[in-house]
Amino acid sequence: MSDGKDVYVLNADAAIFTLIMTDALEEKISELINPIDTLPRKHKYAADYGSGKMNLVSIRDGRKTDRLTFFVHFEKNSGNCTGELKGEAIWKTPTMAEYRQDGDPCVLKLTFTRTGVTVTEENCGSRRTSLNCSFNGSFPRKRYIKPADAKKSVRK
């Protein structure tokens, strides 16, 4: 349930008010949009991982072969704890990549298996809504469904 306000405009010709916008008072995200979804996914660990609609670890190919691009978003405790981080990590071993930026205390480690990824964080408090929660967790690999080929979906 969410509170908000509805905005109406008067249609004088029809003598009725028409709803043109609903403005929610809460800034709660109802649908998660993956900002890196269209990037290439040729690496064997490039995939989406997570459970539910609001817990996502998205991995895509990096700009260089020794890197990967990632986006992590999570919600815990009925939405009271959320976190988000997008960046580029460097492969440290064949199954572990690490995000670390100069001047930033946040370190995120992504450890991959054939069926999932484990995320471990250090000092990423500024990327979360609460200090009592963290990015730490294991996320199963989601099944990838290729978009339908445009030629196949067009009927003649």
Handedness of CA 134, 136, 137, 143 (dihedral sign): positive
pLDDT bin (cut points 50, 70, 90) of residue 47 is very high
DSSP state of 101: -
**Full-model pTM:** 0.74
What share of residues in the chain are helix, strand, coil (percent, to 5)? 5, 45, 45
pLDDT > 90? residue 11: no
Write the pLDDT tens digit of every residue in 126-139.
888 887 889 999 99
Q: How many CB atoms lie within 10 A of CB 128?
A: 19
- Are 115 and 141 within 8 A, CB to CB? yes
Domain residue limits, the chain: 48-140
Using CA atoms, how far apart are residues 75 and 152, in angstroms rounded to an integer?
38
| The two three-digit tokens of residue 102, written as one number | 């100069």
Convert the pLDDT of each residue in 18-45 to its tens digit: 877 776 665 655 678 899 999 999 999 9
pLDDT (0 to 100) of residue 24: 63
